[in-house]
Amino acid sequence: MKKTIMETLVAAVLATGIAHAAPLPLQDAVISATYNGSPDTMLGLDHLFQMEPGSNTTALDPSGTGVEFLSADALFGFDFDASGLLTIVANAPVAPGAYQFHFDFGATLAVPLSAFKLIDGAAIGGTPVLSLGADGKSIDVDLSGTSWSEFASITAQLEASAVPEPGSAALLLTGFAALAASRRARRR
């Protein structure tokens, strides 16, 4: 009987095939942004950083070499990477003030975001406040209590929720079936 269970489990593992990597948190994301509550104060790459209707919405830079957003006052640049890495750069010295940003990914994320954390903030004075929206589709960045030197930057990481792979579920179900068959055989 043990041999049958092991053969069943091995067959299930082989049937699942190669595991698929989880999607990148921001793969194919389209982002809408506001600065201190106003969409008119964010300029997106898709609009070549020109102030025009809808310029606060952009897709990720396909080349991965530039920023996706500039604040209209040109103080901050925001670079999102498909891996979920966010880099914020100050284009000039910045004293503490009202600097609150909201980024909404809407329905363009494959899975909701589950974490948003600061990786490196050593280049600035003060601590930024980073928060994840309750729906996992937006983030807030509050830089109000921070001071920056010219070209200082910070990095933060967005992470996506883990999604079980179909092969894992099949393997789990096969294991349960093998256990049930084992118990049934013992009763006889």
- CA–CA distance, 146 with 25 (Å, rounded to integer): 27
Query: What is the pLDDT, as a whole number, of residue 25?
Result: 84
The residue with tokens 């329905």 is: 107
Report the 3 state secondary structure along 104-136.
ECHHHCCCCEEEEEEEECCCCECCCEEEECCCC
Query: What is the pLDDT, as a whole number, of residue 110?
Result: 87
Report angle CA 104, 33, 30 to the nearest 5 degrees: 55
Give mean pLDDT, residues 60-88: 93
pLDDT tops 70 at residue 170: no
Overall pTM surpassing 0.95 (yes/no): no
Residue 67: CB atoms within 10 A of its CB come to 20
pLDDT tops 80 at residue 166: no
Both tokens assigned to 170: 């099949």
Report angle CA 146, 117, 125 to the nearest 5 degrees: 20
